[in-house]
Structure 1
Amino acid sequence: MIFLIILITLIAIGVVLFLTWFFATKADGNCPICALKTFPPTKITIDTSKDEELVGGSKTPIMGWSSWNALRNRIDEDTIYDMAKAMVDTGLADAGYKYVNIDDCWHSSMRDENGMLQGDLESFPSGMAELGKKINSLGLKMGLYTSNGTLTCEDLPASLGHEEIDAKTFASWGAEYFKYDFCHNEKISGRTPIIEYIGISRKGEREFVKLTPDRAKYSGRARQIKVEDLPTKKGIAYLNHGAGKATFKLDVASGGEYVFTVHFKKLTSKKPTYMQIVVNGDINEVFFPPSNAFTSDARLQTLIKLNSGENIITLQNPVVTRADSSYIQYRRMGKALEDASRAWAIYTGEVQKPITYSICEWGTCKPWLWNGKVGNMWRTTHDIFAKWFSIYAIYKFTVRLYKYASPGHVNDPDMLEVGNGKLTLEENRSHFSLWCMMAAPLVLGNDLREIEKNGKGQDILDIVTNNELIRIDQDSLVKPAKKIDRLGSTDVLARPLSNGDVALCLFNTSKKNKHVEYDIEKLKDDKYLGISRLGNAQIKDLWTNDIFHSDTIKTDIPTHGVKVYRITCR
């Protein structure tokens, strides 16, 4: 009986809270039903079909080294340069490893007097531009890092809200890779206040035109409503959470930059709310500050370019889910990087250095679904560790995403842990092989200065410079391996290659050695591979370089081991 009373009480409290929220949301000019569509948060609801694909940098998965796995926050300019020299001295650069990616903790906790990021004043005293030149002098490329948040993961200044100036800074330093993390991210609000009207004027002049609610054409749930506590007694409502749009046509005599003054009804909120002013297809973002209701109305100004003649101006807030927010924020930086690298090349008269853009969103909002609309590579999971369970779990998840990759757009299962931790030689070899089969970036995370100073250094170097595996990873088709079969505890992976060959990997996932026999004629059954015939195929073992001709592969695979073959089908 007591349990029933408690249950009824909780339900009653829930109903009261829901109704209070529902009517308060409606009173704020927001659509309550639309606000309920925020689940699941990983689903992108924005129509991205009209967004242009960002070109970005490398068309094949990048190869290089990153400071994070081995060094964490213990970096300085001498250490980074020593790693770059080691990349050359060990032959890694000749094998294709070109990017020297400086992860978190390279920068000062202070922006400079111009609001620009700067290298740590003690550990990078020469500045990042100078370090970039030294790295370039070795025939290598510099990569940098911040976060899509208010701070980086190590609580240093980040780029959310500073995308344009930071992109210009990175381009001016000659960066050719940029990793954008997800720590301290702040989701864009799906809420939008009631818009009373927008006044438009030239800078330094009085308002010459008003975009009032009665002039708008509405779509979706958006509409004009009566608002007693606004001077004009009317406003545009229901723009929130993708509910609808208000569109205006405006003719101006001459194009150029105009002041848009947005007059709005204050919305009770502890966080900034949001709206997009889309002018002739270009998105201009405005953030309304959290408000104190001493007065009911307020104004916000922004500068927007208009064309001579007719302009189409749309007010909207397409943010429904966290995925929508992430898409907007990551695309904002991607566009800034592309514009900055192009503008810097024009300014200096030098050849443009496209910046390969890495979306390190941890796979939280399924960035592979955004594909080339945002960046060149996207993390599929949270961080990797030098533990077999971590490597295996990331492989199991990422191998399923094969269909989302293409030239210039790749799945990123995170940096290589080859040579780190207590991985066995077989596990190191398997780790590298699986990443190559998945067309993943090959970014080393070990201490390159120590690569030949310990007992397994040469073995590790031999693994990561295996030219045959690197050729598989760098194949221009950029079609990752698909898991096409499973033989007991052995995964069968295959990927098509640009010259018509097929790469085949047999991966023993168990803790026991396995004998495996595989009929390669089965490969013809999978349309993804595109094989028409296999008669008298040549098979090359890419770890032993043995070559043979057979219809069946018979082999023994050690625990957590792989066998990788290149099959010539003609």
Structure 2
Amino acid sequence: MRHPHTRTTRTARRRLLGALGAGLLCTAGLAVPAAATPAVTLAARTPLTTAPAQTPALADGLALTPPMGFNNWNSTHCRADFNETMVKGIADLFVAKGLKDAGYQYVNLDDCWALPNRDANGKLVPDPARFPNGIKAVADYVHSKGLKLGIYTSAGIKTCNSAGFPGALGHEYSDAQQFADWGVDYLKYDNCNNLGVDAQVRYRTMRDALRATGRPIVYSICEWGENKPWEWAADVGNLWRTTGDISDDWGSMVSILKQNLPLAPYAGPGHWNDPDMLEVGNGGMTDTEYRSHFSLWSIMAAPLLIGTDLRKATPATFDILDNKDIIGVDQDPLGKQGTVVSSGGGRWVIAKEMKDGSRAVALFNESGTAQRIATTASAVGLPAAPAYTVRDLWQHRDDNTAGTLAATVPAHGTVLLRVSTDPRWATHPPAVELGLDGSPLLEAATPVTLTGTVTDLGRTPARRVSVSLTGPAGWTVRPTSATTAAVLPTGRTLRTGWRVTAPAGTPAGAYDLTLRARYRSPSGEQVTSALPLSASVVVRPPAGTSYLSDLPWLSASSGWGPVERDTSNGESAAGDGHPITIGGTVYAKGLGAHAPSDISFYAGRACTKVRADVGVDDEKGLKGTVAFEIWADGTKVAATGVLTNAMPAQPLTADVTGAQVVRLVVTDGGDGNDSDHADWADAALTC
């Protein structure tokens, strides 16, 4: 769960409690079995090329595929509308909207369901304002819908909410029995206020307590990956958090993805890596980004726990959450987590072995511009074959391919495919790849030339091919070469030049273009394929030297919170930063970001230099390690190496002569991105 105080405050509190550990145990009067107190030596992480040596998974028959359901925290936190009415309403929507039929099963309560104090007998007391009929009545209602109920507590003396609701440390057996008596089917067990008690001791004690109830309860270990639970928890819980809390923004989602991907060897039926709940529908990302989120969690065999208030969800949100083709990837009974095939230049190929021998393949574009991403059937682990059937799981369409798997993927987008050696491949049309060469950056009233491509990837030819490019109303889009081809054999491409002009006075911003191809398969089937694209109308920067914080950017992403102009990054909403301060020096101008971040500006081939004083903002104390880079188009032209908060601002200057686009990039210094507040102080562009 996410907490109302900052991540750094929570980290500091955990460290303080860990340091006080033994003394607090005596003060609190907690009983920890003596036999469980010796330190446990964790095994070194096993290289990804070999299977890790693990204790066998829990033999409880639970969570043989990743759990699917709902958790209220990401959308409601502790608001008053988290109550019995909401929970019942979610259960009703699971049935009415087809989510139950799609596989969603658990309706889970997070923190704030209880009163702050136990009763005279040491029992947990549901908050009567939120749950006037108690938890058992809610469980009974959820069960009547053919669903299951989950609940939350912490492996500490208090839960993670700042109000401090009762945790289960020292009360494991009585709390577990209460949960069982209420009819609970799932327990999320958090990590706050743990008094420094060894994590393995705390989580094993609750495992044993749940087992003693005799009720099947899925056990979710939520210790944020601090003690590498993937190395020891396979026989303790059914799933374990591998990272800190997710946030409803692009940078957070990608950061968690990168932390969870290397842990694939540790996942399997009954024991899953958990990169935290879904943010789909909460409003902090675009639908394209949410489709990536859902695709990537599914190919990682992650639990799919809806984190949005379904009572307010849009049709687009339901379309994402109810995609049964993609859910089928997540729920494949073989239980393999997808692994990285390649990732250069933000072009990710991730492949997952499926029980039927097919492969799920994600073509994921991390970058802020559309990119072609390609791989082959052989590279993702399929045997040699004359041809393959490839199903696009977002388009719900089957094609045949001679072996190439490729697509132009929009910025922050994901194409998810399922590829097999299905002998019926010839009954499907040939796969056709659409692309657009050239930079879709336009100054109003100034034409640009783009080249559209249509390539037959199939084993069979595409016949009677025609192509079109459309733009916004009022734009001029004219072909400068052939738009048709009688036939495209395997591997052949139809190239069409397009002259595109935005009308004078068109405001700067992003605009939609669509490249379409129509063709017939050998059997005569008519096929239409479309590639949505984005063109940006841009304004040439003024002559002279300008502060970058005064210029419009093409795109901006940040690990936590948005990029800020002339303040530091505040990690949450826009405008929550402070004056930029590095090494005690305060700067009135600049850009505040949080690693990893990427900010791009249009230079129009008219600029010569970028300069800035860069460093970690003082507001984080002695925390944060980052590295700064400046890119001119596709070339890195300046970099700092790793900087820490203890270092003063470093001057960074780059020659960007002739560049169309300039990018300011911050990485996390290789140690994760906690507290990585990165300032581009006095950043300026000379043109």
Q: 1:117 aligns with which of 112, 124, 128?
A: 124
Partners of 1:42 and 1:365 within 8 A in 2: no
**Which position in structure 1 is the counterpart of 2:343?**
486
Q: CA deviation at 1:468?
A: 0.6
Question: 1:506-525 counterparts in 2 under 5 A?
Answer: 506-524=363-381
Q: 2:108 aligns with which of 101, 113, 120?
A: 101
**Which position in structure 2 is the counterpart of 1:160?**
169
User: In the aligned structure 2, how far is the partner of 1:360 from the partner of 1:411?
Assistant: 11
**3-state SS of the aligned residue for 1:515?**
strand
Question: 1:398-437 counterparts in 2 under 5 A?
Answer: 398-437=260-299
**3-state SS of the aligned residue for 1:399?**
helix
User: In the aligned structure 2, how far is the partner of 1:118 from the partner of 1:327?
Assistant: 27
Partners of 1:56 and 1:376 within 8 A in 2: no
Q: 2:360 aligns with which of 499, 503, 506?
A: 503
**3-state SS of the aligned residue for 1:371?**
coil
Partners of 1:521 and 1:534 within 8 A in 2: no
**Which position in structure 2 is the counterpart of 1:335?**
208
**3-state SS of the aligned residue for 1:521?**
coil
Unaligned residue ranges in structure 1 (runs of 5+): 1-36, 189-324, 343-352, 452-456, 525-530
Change (3 A) 1:56 1:116: farther
Q: What amino acid does structure 2 have at the position aligned with 1:562?
A: T
User: In the aligned structure 1, how far is the partner of 2:154 from the partner of 2:233?
Assistant: 20
Q: 1:186 aligns with which of 174, 195, 208?
A: 195
Partners of 2:95 and 2:101 within 8 A in 1: yes
Change (3 A) 1:495 1:476: same
Q: What amino acid does structure 2 have at the position aligned with 1:472?
A: V
Partners of 2:42 and 2:231 within 8 A in 1: no
Q: CA deviation at 1:52?
A: 8.3
User: In the aligned structure 1, how far is the partner of 2:66 from the partner of 2:113?
Assistant: 24
**Which position in structure 2 is the counterpart of 1:459?**
316
User: In the aligned structure 2, how far is the partner of 1:450 from the partner of 1:50?
Assistant: 43
Q: Which has the higher strand share?
A: 2
**CA-to-partner distance for each residue in 1:284-317, whole Å, 9 max, x for gaps?**
xxxxxxxxxxxxxxxxxxxxxxxxxxxxxxxxxx
Question: 1:152-551 counterparts in 2 under 5 A?
Answer: 152-154=159-161, 155-188=164-197, 325-340=198-213, 342=214, 353-451=215-313, 457-524=314-381, 531-550=382-401, 551=403
Q: CA deviation at 1:87?
A: 2.0
**CA-to-partner distance for each residue in 1:452-488, whole Å, 9 max, x for gaps?**
xxxxx11111111110100000011110000012353
**Which position in structure 1 is the counterpart of 2:418?**
566
Partners of 2:126 and 2:134 within 8 A in 1: yes
Counterpart check, 1:92 vs 2:99: yes
**3-state SS of the aligned residue for 2:88?**
helix
Q: CA deviation at 1:40?
A: 9.8
Partners of 2:246 and 2:253 within 8 A in 1: yes
Q: TM-score, normalised by structure 1?
A: 0.63
Q: CA deviation at 1:339?
A: 1.8
**CA-to-partner distance for each residue in 1:346-369, whole Å, 9 max, x for gaps?**
xxxxxxx51110000001111011
**3-state SS of the aligned residue for 1:168?**
helix
Partners of 2:364 and 2:414 within 8 A in 1: yes
Q: CA deviation at 1:98?
A: 1.2
User: In the aligned structure 1, how far is the partner of 2:343 from the partner of 2:85?
Assistant: 48
User: In the aligned structure 1, how far is the partner of 2:389 from the partner of 2:191?
Assistant: 46
Partners of 2:150 and 2:184 within 8 A in 1: yes
User: In the aligned structure 2, how far is the partner of 1:500 from the partner of 1:517?
Assistant: 21
User: In the aligned structure 2, how far is the partner of 1:51 from the partner of 1:490?
Assistant: 35
Q: What amino acid does structure 2 have at the position aligned with 1:356?
A: V
Partners of 2:56 and 2:234 within 8 A in 1: no
Q: CA deviation at 1:569?
A: 2.5
Q: TM-score, normalised by structure 2?
A: 0.52
Q: What amino acid does structure 2 have at the position aligned with 1:516?
A: I
Change (3 A) 1:373 1:508: same
Q: 1:131 aligns with which of 131, 138, 162?
A: 138
Partners of 2:349 and 2:364 within 8 A in 1: yes
User: In the aligned structure 1, how far is the partner of 2:71 from the partner of 2:354?
Assistant: 28
Higher RCO (CA 8 Å, separation ≥ 6 residues): 1
User: In the aligned structure 2, how far is the partner of 1:39 from the partner of 1:66?
Assistant: 33
User: In the aligned structure 1, how far is the partner of 2:360 from the partner of 2:280?
Assistant: 21
Unaligned residue ranges in structure 2 (runs of 5+): 1-37, 46-52, 423-687
Partners of 1:507 and 1:560 within 8 A in 2: yes
RMSD: 2.2
Partners of 2:363 and 2:374 within 8 A in 1: no
Q: CA deviation at 1:117?
A: 1.1
Q: CA deviation at 1:43?
A: 7.3
User: In the aligned structure 2, how far is the partner of 1:184 from the partner of 1:121?
Assistant: 25
Counterpart check, 1:555 vs 2:417: no
Percent identity (aligned):
41
**3-state SS of the aligned residue for 2:378?**
helix
Q: Which has the higher helix share?
A: 1
User: In the aligned structure 2, how far is the partner of 1:333 from the partner of 1:406?
Assistant: 22
